[in-house]
Chain A
């Protein structure tokens, strides 16, 4: 592939989406421009109604934009997409309980993308499924099991394996750990971090949890009511949040250590502290 590796993988250019019903129209997203660098973990943060889900659906091609443009690897990306364009952008959903078909085996779910996109030789696909399961920290024997008996963390690993089976370039992670227990969340975050490094993936990481953002993301964009209120490197947002809304979000996080409480108090008060002052 001849591709400029320094150019952004995904660009949102004055992107807007308006929903209309019964003569009313609501702007779910307005005038959003962000460039996603290849290999970065870019967090999209916001509360309900912030437009972060609409953004994900536009990137995935589940919705069409009302205005503006999405460019993927420099080429415009609309709703109708080629097989390769579809394959290159994959999704990991929030709820691992519903993301796997309860009446299909784990192996069948992971194998589906291999069959759809004709990846690898047919005879080797079951071996690929086993390799994917091991890559996400499960065992090859899980392929024969039904998702029913598996825990939330195991199911989320399987959903990640299924997305990886497409050999994607960009993963849209929609609150991938918010339905999980803390110990499980920590391990899934570790897994995602490792996979990004090993596979050179780019993450569009949707979350409401700024602590998770601090732990895993390189850059962050904060959304409020369909507008981008702040974007920048994670360190900068935590050391010097520019918008009052970002400050409010950080101020609302329940924390567990004195260091966090101190940082939060400073951010609430609106004073700027240098990164890593604790």
Chain B
């Protein structure tokens, strides 16, 4: 089982709030999210659509702050800066100190450029002075590492010429090329076939183990979370409702919402359809934190 890492967290989110709207009418969609990720740890943020899991990821990347009619408060400490403020500091770290993998790899890659050019850009964001030949050599090595059979040919291809599974591998290789501290994976492989999705998750797991990169996995799929994560936050309507290690959460779910989610998933071991009330009750209980999973005290060191 996982043991608590004494190192200080890579990412610390404190009382993060997000509202959309203007002065007259704003709607809060995140009501004070707090979470942390330690070095090398794989943490999942699991919830249904509209729960606020994807906007949390976007805020951590600094991708939402500059938009009109968005109001952010609280803090996201990462790599010595507060990403909640948005702006240049976090932008400079994207693709370099923090990387992201998306749901549909084929549309995340630029269709008008070959993989080679896009890979070079990624490597340059980590090392401005890198020479072309050196960049190509490193790109090839990175693609070989994710088991792409012919890296040279893949580099000279466009995204649409490769299969979804291949593109996902390319995305993983690119994301980890600069050895980022943190990888944010938003529903990775959801758009792909189940067998390819399983391979993708396995690859992502192996690769981040190797590079020591921490992962924030955003997912609606509890099965994926169980296979991948060390620790889990369950998010419901803009609030974290339960937090524990993967084993704690799946073997001993305490929050009624987590229990309902787990019960609602059809099981391959049989048991027919889950028995659910026609209307879901509102789950508004306070946060349940499992033993040994409290917030770190050294967060702001």
Question: Do A and B share a direct contact in the complex (Cβ within 8 angstroms)?
Answer: yes
Residues of A within 8 A of B (CB): 47-48, 137, 152, 181-183, 185-187, 189-190, 193, 208-212, 214-216, 238, 248-260, 262-264, 275-276, 278
Which of B48, B195, B201, B226 is in CB contact (< 8 Å) with A249?
Answer: B195
B58 within 8 A of A: no
A254 to B197, CA, bound (A): 10
Q: Identify the closest chain B residue to A263 (Cβ).
A: B269
With A211-B268, A215-B266 known, 4 other A-B pairs at CB within 8 A are A47-B196, A187-B276, A256-B265, A256-B267
Residues of B within 8 A of A (CB): 48-49, 193-198, 201, 220-224, 226-227, 250-251, 260-262, 264-274, 276, 278, 280
Which of B195, B250, B261, B272 is in CB contact (< 8 Å) with A215?
Answer: B272
A182 to B263, CA, bound (A): 9
Taking a contact as CB atoms under 8 Å apart, the answer to whether A208 and B269 are in contact is no
Taking a contact as CB atoms under 8 Å apart, the answer to whether B267 and A189 are in contact is no
A210 to chain B minimum Cβ distance, whole angstroms, is 6
The residues of A that contact B227 with a CB separation of less than 8 Å are 254-255
Q: List 13 A-B contacts (CB under 8 A).
A: A152-B49, A182-B265, A183-B261, A186-B264, A186-B266, A186-B274, A187-B278, A189-B273, A211-B266, A214-B270, A253-B268, A255-B227, A256-B262
Chain B CB within 10 Å, residue with most, of A183, A185, A263: A183
Taking a contact as CB atoms under 8 Å apart, the answer to whether A193 and B193 are in contact is no
A263 to B227, CA, bound (A): 15
Taking a contact as CB atoms under 8 Å apart, the answer to whether A190 and B223 are in contact is no
B228 to chain A minimum Cβ distance, whole angstroms, is 8
Taking a contact as CB atoms under 8 Å apart, the answer to whether A186 and B195 are in contact is no
Which of B193, B270, B273 is in CB contact (< 8 Å) with A276?
Answer: B270
> What is the count of residue pairs linking A and B with beta-carbon distances less than 8 angstroms?
111
Which of A181, A214, A252, A276 is in CB contact (< 8 Å) with B266?
Answer: A214
A193 to B262, CA, bound (A): 20
A259 to chain B minimum Cβ distance, whole angstroms, is 4
A260 to B271, CA, bound (A): 11
Taking a contact as CB atoms under 8 Å apart, the answer to whether B193 and A208 are in contact is yes
Which of A183, A209, A250, A264 is in CB contact (< 8 Å) with B260?
Answer: A183
Taking a contact as CB atoms under 8 Å apart, the answer to whether B226 and A255 are in contact is yes
Taking a contact as CB atoms under 8 Å apart, the answer to whether B269 and A183 are in contact is no
Taking a contact as CB atoms under 8 Å apart, the answer to whether B264 and A259 are in contact is no
Taking a contact as CB atoms under 8 Å apart, the answer to whether A252 and B198 are in contact is yes
Which of A137, A250, A256 is in CB contact (< 8 Å) with B250?
Answer: A256
Q: Nearest 4 A-B pairs (CB), nearest first?
A: A254-B223, A215-B266, A47-B193, A252-B198
Taking a contact as CB atoms under 8 Å apart, the answer to whether A238 and B268 are in contact is yes
Taking a contact as CB atoms under 8 Å apart, the answer to whether B268 and A263 are in contact is yes
Taking a contact as CB atoms under 8 Å apart, the answer to whether A260 and B195 are in contact is no
Q: Identify the closest chain A residue to B257 (Cβ).
A: A183
Q: Identify the closest chain B residue to A179 (Cβ).
A: B49
A182 to B288, CA, bound (A): 21
Which of A185, A187, A256, A276 is in CB contact (< 8 Å) with B222?
Answer: A256
Which of B224, B266, B270 is in CB contact (< 8 Å) with A254?
Answer: B224
Taking a contact as CB atoms under 8 Å apart, the answer to whether A181 and B48 are in contact is yes
Taking a contact as CB atoms under 8 Å apart, the answer to whether B273 and A47 are in contact is no
The residues of A that contact B201 with a CB separation of less than 8 Å are 254
A260 to B227, CA, bound (A): 12
Which of A186, A208, A255, A258 is in CB contact (< 8 Å) with B273?
Answer: A186
Which of A182, A254, A262 is in CB contact (< 8 Å) with B226?
Answer: A254
Taking a contact as CB atoms under 8 Å apart, the answer to whether B48 and A253 are in contact is no
